[in-house]
């Protein structure tokens, strides 16, 4: 194991294991919930200190601009100063909505005594991990490899040439419980630097060398051996099923993260099982998924009042969350709820998808369509409060609910388990320090139909009362001090959400006519969601894309960041653009996706060894180029890229399609061992490997006037059933740009349009697979029937 080799390599150090490793949960970046009051004084207009971060754009860096610590941003000015002074660098990495980053700031970085030690003995650098994921990846990988776990804030000591010397995560300011405090650690590092410098620098350089070797895997084989994709898919499903919580839903134990890639795999595998006649197994997998999605939606991890989902639940029952809201969660969760609706046609799932998207539309979208990154967990309990508390914006007392809801308070309190003593008592992990005593986090524990019968009313009336009650609480909550909004625009995360808005525009058209929704769901006309996706994509092209160089910037706040686009930015945006095209966007979406794929290949592809590196390698201060494969809270850039290449190969013909397919095959061959040995770590890559072995993806081709209602209905029909191995192509023969695009990129589509479009008033659709196309159909119900036909049981 790499971390064992590195531990041995570093064992002579005074500090590496005993002093610097803090007990975070491996691979989950979880800290036990203990609410901490954060000072709000830093937001005051009068400041005793100002450092170089004041000129930065990152909200996280700006939060530290008035610390007494002489912070520098990541860059040559700080590096050269460390070399000139011949002192180590203290690198602190976090993000603006990170609770424990705030804690360490208040405890240590606002402390003048700590600041003096840092300023005298180190050059201190602050990095926003969301702005510079490439820098974070280097030193997080080091800490995880060395100690088996990691998290934020990430605290690492570096040599002036940026080699890691030792590291950890959050440190309390003073020694406690037999563990060293931050001030003790600073003194120990100073002594170690003065007395054991050569050993530290040598071991740091060796660590980077070993990490570089381990994390830049390559493959001499250009494709996976036969049988590996099917085995990996089955193994991952089996491993996830083995970790399934049949009582509360979800996979794994507390803390529970809504890892949508796990849902993606289970639904994908269940579709494969269904298509091969294994209905019992398919239904078993889906049952786990649907129950998990229901428990999450009913739990406190879901913001019942304002919509959207919090980051994770600290307990096993999805009740008490860590309250920050991240954009990447919203985009992926909206998509899995849309998938569940596609399979079941149960509006419970479409309502939750709408709930997420309507939250984003209301609170997270800027004036030009840009979509912001995150909302903090912490806020002031009351106006003028000197301290912020986690969850203050979201929790309620019984008295507040009584005062606001009046006659309907009893019904609402029973439905959401609101109690005088507070309701965070469902698990010993929910509130171990009694921080929520007397407060309630809303959770649905009652069945609506049973409750409606108890109160002698229809379910519809009962739901209307709940909706109106939520609206009243929302209005009161809106007058509270809001959590900090990180209004940074990140390309990769916008790509995830562009996908979900685009997909919602057609999938939600399958809701039964007259379906009613209650607050916070607005009841948006589905096609409006497509406009939101298009506007977000337009913002990125206008503000974050250089048409001449065909390169992306990574993020935007007031202006583009200095950081270039990374692999995830290209991969996630391409995925979003492919969805935007397939679900009704213009041909320009597909053209741009192809253009971006060419740039991605030029910047990140290992042409000899296969797969994509996470960064371009052009920034010499970033010591590692990593081929990431782990599908965690976000999918890996390589997993998404493999699927993008497969999708592009199904749309484009000729040598370019073969090129896409070869790159996908070589990419997956790089990660053969991961697929065989650790499938549960790469669920989306397991899906990609199986997609590649499908002999022929189903193609649905819709031909007609784009502006007609029937064209919209045909596209909705094309997307009416869940099928991840389907490609939807649409062409308006009256649109010269579209016809020319297909004549160049896939002449079969252009010819199909020419031969089947005889009547300007009719929309035609064909379903093609295994080099054969169905007879054309001219109404959406016939298309639905056509695509719902089951493949032969021998299908692979």
pLDDT band at 13 (very low <50, low <70, confident <90, very high): very low
Each residue's pLDDT tens digit, 284-303: 999 999 999 999 999 999 99
The neighbouring-strand residues paired with 16 are: none
**% of residues, the chain, pLDDT over 70:** 94
Of residues 314, 309, 285, the one with CA closest to residue 298? 309
Tell whether the model's pLDDT for residue 18 goes beyond 80: no
Question: Alpha-carbon distance 431 to 454, whole Å?
Answer: 31
**% of residues, the chain, pLDDT over 90:** 87
Tell whether the model's pLDDT for residue 323 goes beyond 80: yes
Q: Cβ distance 766 to 773 under 8 Å?
A: yes
Look at residue 791 in the predicted model and tell me its pLDDT.
60
Q: Do strands 485-486 and 387-390 pair parallel, antiparallel, or not at all (unpaired)?
A: unpaired
Q: Which has the minimum average pLDDT: 5-14, 44-53, 258-267?
A: 5-14
In whole angstroms, how far apart are CA 63 and each of 13, 67, 93, 98, 349? Answer: 33, 8, 13, 12, 38
Residues 6+ apart with CB under 8 A from 221: 669, 672
The rounded radius of gyration (Å) of the Cα atoms in the chain is 27
Tell whether the model's pLDDT for residue 248 goes beyond 50: yes
Residues 6+ apart with CB under 8 A from 367: none
Each residue's pLDDT tens digit, 777-792: 999 999 999 998 876 5
Element (H, E) at 167: strand 164-168
User: Coil, helix or strand for 738?
Assistant: helix
Q: Cβ distance 65 to 56 under 8 Å?
A: yes
Q: Which has the minimum average pLDDT: 387-391, 501-505, 745-749?
A: 387-391
* Mean pLDDT score across all residues of the chain: 92
- Per the listing, tokens 């899995």 go with 336
Q: Which has the minimum average pLDDT: 20-29, 143-152, 246-255, 649-658?
A: 20-29
pLDDT band at 14 (very low <50, low <70, confident <90, very high): very low
Look at residue 250 in the predicted model and tell me its pLDDT.
97
Question: Alpha-carbon distance 247 to 160, whole Å?
Answer: 52
Average confidence (pLDDT) over 120-135? 97
pLDDT band at 758 (very low <50, low <70, confident <90, very high): confident
Question: Alpha-carbon distance 668 to 614, whole Å?
Answer: 16
Residues 6+ apart with CB under 8 A from 699: 650, 726, 727, 728, 729, 767, 768, 769
Tell whether the model's pLDDT for residue 582 goes beyond 60: yes
Question: Alpha-carbon distance 594 to 577, whole Å?
Answer: 10
CA dihedral 432, 435, 439, 442 (to 10 degrees): -60
Q: Which has the minimum average pLDDT: 13-22, 140-149, 629-638?
A: 13-22
User: Coil, helix or strand for 21?
Assistant: coil
177 conformational bin, left if phi > 0, alpha if psi -120 to 50, beta if neither = left
Tell whether the model's pLDDT for residue 119 goes beyond 50: yes
Of residues 84, 49, 53, the one with CA closest to residue 67? 49
Average confidence (pLDDT) over 570-578? 98
Rounded to 5 degrees, what angle do the CA atoms 187, 188, 192 make? 120
Q: Cβ distance 205 to 164 under 8 Å?
A: no
The per-residue DSSP string of 316-338 comes to TTS-SEE--EEHHHHHHHHHHHH
Each residue's pLDDT tens digit, 696-733: 899 999 999 999 999 999 999 999 999 999 999 999 99
Look at residue 796 in the predicted model and tell me its pLDDT.
38
Question: Alpha-carbon distance 65 to 49, whole Å?
Answer: 8
Q: Residue 40 — φ and ψ, nearest 5°?
A: -105, 5
Tell whether the model's pLDDT for residue 479 goes beyond 60: yes
User: Coil, helix or strand for 90?
Assistant: strand
Structure tokens at 777: 């159909």
Tell whether the model's pLDDT for residue 36 goes beyond 50: no
Average confidence (pLDDT) over 672-679? 96
DSSP state of 70: -
Look at residue 404 in the predicted model and tell me its pLDDT.
98
Look at residue 21 in the predicted model and tell me its pLDDT.
35
Structure tokens at 354: 């709408």
Residues 6+ apart with CB under 8 A from 197: none
In whole angstroms, how far apart are CA 524 and each of 81, 531, 681, 765? Answer: 55, 12, 37, 27
Question: Alpha-carbon distance 506 to 458, whole Å?
Answer: 31
The neighbouring-strand residues paired with 769 are: 772
- Per the listing, tokens 């995150």 go with 374
Tell whether the model's pLDDT for residue 330 goes beyond 60: yes
Question: Alpha-carbon distance 577 to 552, whole Å?
Answer: 14
Q: Residue 259 — φ and ψ, nearest 5°?
A: -90, 90
Q: Cβ distance 488 to 328 under 8 Å?
A: no
**Greatest alpha-carbon span in the chain:** 85
Average confidence (pLDDT) over 15-33? 36
Of residues 94, 31, 86, the one with CA closest to residue 58? 94
Tell whether the model's pLDDT for residue 736 goes beyond 60: yes
pLDDT band at 43 (very low <50, low <70, confident <90, very high): very low
Going along 711-785, which residue ranges are E strands? 726-731, 764-769, 772-773
pTM passes above 0.85: yes
Look at residue 45 in the predicted model and tell me its pLDDT.
57
Q: Residue 156 — φ and ψ, nearest 5°?
A: -135, 140
Tell whether the model's pLDDT for residue 73 goes beyond 90: yes
* Helix pair angle (683-693, 260-275), 10° resolution: 30
Q: Which has the minimum average pLDDT: 9-23, 32-46, 224-238?
A: 9-23
Tell whether the model's pLDDT for residue 216 goes beyond 90: no
Look at residue 724 in the predicted model and tell me its pLDDT.
97
pLDDT band at 41 (very low <50, low <70, confident <90, very high): very low
Average confidence (pLDDT) over 381-395? 90
pLDDT band at 5 (very low <50, low <70, confident <90, very high): very low
Going along 509-602, which residue ranges are E strands? 545-546, 551-552, 555-557, 559-560
Question: Alpha-carbon distance 667 to 684, whole Å?
Answer: 13
Tell whether the model's pLDDT for residue 772 goes beyond 70: yes
Q: Cβ distance 583 to 719 under 8 Å?
A: yes
Residues 6+ apart with CB under 8 A from 355: 302, 307, 308, 520, 521
305 CB neighbour count, 10 Å cutoff: 22
Half-sphere exposure at residue 3, Cβ-oriented, CA atoms within 13 angstroms: 14
Question: Alpha-carbon distance 610 to 405, whole Å?
Answer: 60
Of residues 618, 676, 609, 617, the one with CA closest to residue 638? 609
Please indicate whether residue 545 or residue 221 has the higher confidence score (pLDDT). 545
Q: Locate all alpha helices (DSSP H) within 345-486, ordered by sequence.
A: 347-363, 398-405, 409-415, 448-454, 459-477
Residues 6+ apart with CB under 8 A from 499: 331, 335, 533, 575, 576, 579, 580
Question: Alpha-carbon distance 173 to 230, whole Å?
Answer: 51
Average confidence (pLDDT) over 512-532? 95
């Amino acid at each position: 194991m790499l971390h064992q080799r590195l531990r041995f390599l570093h064992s002579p150090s005074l500090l590496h294991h005993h002093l610097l490793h803090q007990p975070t949960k491996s691979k989950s970046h979880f800290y036990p919930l203990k609410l901490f009051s954060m000072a709000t004084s830093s937001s005051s207009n009068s400041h005793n200190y100002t450092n170089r971060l004041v000129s930065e754009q990152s909200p996280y860096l700006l939060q530290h601009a008035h610390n007494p610590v002489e912070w520098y941003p990541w860059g040559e000015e700080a590096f050269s100063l460390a070399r000139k002074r011949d002192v180590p660098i203290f690198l602190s990495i976090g993000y603006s909505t990170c609770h424990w980053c705030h804690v360490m700031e208040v405890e240590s970085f606002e402390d003048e005594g700590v600041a003096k030690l840092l300023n005298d003995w180190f050059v201190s650098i602050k990095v926003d991990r969301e702005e510079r994921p490439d820098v974070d990846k280097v030193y997080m990988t080091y800490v995880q490899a060395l100690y088996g776990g990691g998290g934020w804030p990430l605290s690492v000591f570096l040599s002036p040439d940026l080699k890691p010397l030792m590291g950890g995560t959050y440190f309390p300011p003073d020694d406690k419980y037999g563990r060293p405090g931050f001030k003790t650690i600073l003194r120990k590092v100073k002594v170690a630097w003065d007395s054991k410098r050569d050993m530290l620098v040598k071991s740091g350089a060796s660590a980077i060398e070993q990490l570089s070797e381990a994390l830049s895997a390559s493959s001499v084989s250009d494709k996976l051996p036969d049988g590996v994709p099917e085995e990996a898919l089955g193994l991952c499903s089996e491993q996830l099923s083995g970790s399934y919580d049949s009582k509360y839903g979800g996979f794994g134990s507390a803390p529970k993260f809504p890892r949508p890639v796990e849902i993606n795999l289970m639904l994908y595998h269940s579709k494969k099982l269904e298509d091969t006649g294994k209905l019992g197994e398919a239904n078993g997998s889906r049952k786990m998924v649907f129950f998990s999605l229901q428990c999450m939606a009913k739990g406190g991890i879901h913001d019942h009042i304002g919509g959207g989902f919090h980051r994770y639940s600290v307990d096993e029952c999805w009740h008490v969350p860590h309250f920050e809201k991240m954009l990447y969660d919203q985009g992926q969760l909206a998509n899995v709820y849309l998938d569940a609706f596609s399979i079941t046609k149960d509006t419970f799932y479409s309502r939750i998808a709408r709930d997420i998207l309507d939250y984003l539309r209301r609170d997270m979208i800027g004036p030009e369509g840009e979509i912001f990154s995150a909302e903090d967990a912490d806020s002031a309990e009351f106006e003028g409060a000197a301290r912020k508390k986690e969850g203050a914006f979201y929790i309620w007392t019984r008295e507040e609910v009584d005062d606001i809801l009046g006659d309907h308070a009893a019904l609402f309190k029973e439905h959401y388990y609101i109690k005088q003593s507070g309701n965070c008592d469902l698990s010993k992990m929910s509130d171990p320090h009694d921080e929520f005593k007397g407060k309630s986090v809303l959770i649905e524990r009652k069945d609506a139909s049973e409750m409606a019968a108890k109160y002698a009313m229809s379910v519809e009336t009962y739901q209307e009362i709940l909706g109106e009650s939520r609206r009243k609480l929302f209005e009161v909550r809106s007058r509270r001090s809001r959590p900090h909004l990180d209004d940074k625009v990140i390309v990769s995360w916008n790509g995830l959400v562009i996908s979900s808005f685009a997909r919602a525009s057609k999938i939600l058209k399958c809701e039964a006519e007259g379906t009613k929704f209650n607050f916070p769901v607005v009841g948006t006309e589905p096609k409006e969601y497509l406009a939101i996706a298009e506007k977000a994509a337009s913002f990125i092209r206008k503000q974050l894309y250089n048409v001449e160089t065909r390169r992306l910037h990574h993020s935007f706040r007031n202006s583009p960041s200095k950081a270039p686009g990374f692999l995830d930015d290209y991969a996630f945006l391409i995925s979003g653009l492919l969805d935007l095209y397939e679900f009704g966007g213009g041909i320009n979406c597909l053209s741009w996706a192809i253009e971006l794929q060419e740039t991605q290949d030029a910047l990140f592809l290992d042409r000899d060894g296969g797969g994509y590196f996470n960064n371009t390698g052009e920034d010499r201060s970033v010591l590692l180029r990593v081929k990431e494969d782990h599908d965690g809270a976000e999918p890996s850039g390589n997993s998404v890229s493999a699927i993008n290449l497969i999708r592009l190969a199904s749309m484009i013909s000729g040598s370019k399609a073969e090129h896409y397919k070869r790159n996908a095959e070589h990419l997956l061959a790089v990660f053969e061992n991961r697929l065989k040995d650790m499938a549960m770590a790469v669920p989306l890559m397991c899906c990609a490997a199986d997609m590649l072995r499908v002999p022929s993806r189903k193609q649905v081709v819709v031909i007609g006037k784009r502006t007609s209602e029937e064209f919209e209905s045909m596209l909705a029909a094309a997307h009416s059933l869940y099928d991840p191995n389907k490609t939807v192509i649409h062409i308006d023969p009256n649109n010269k740009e579209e016809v020319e695009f297909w004549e160049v990129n896939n002449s079969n589509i252009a010819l199909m349009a020419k031969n089947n479009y005889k009547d300007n008033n009719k929309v035609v659709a064909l379903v093609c697979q295994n080099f054969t196309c169905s007879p054309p159909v001219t109404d959406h119900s016939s298309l639905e029937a056509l695509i719902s036909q089951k493949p032969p049981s021998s299908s692979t």
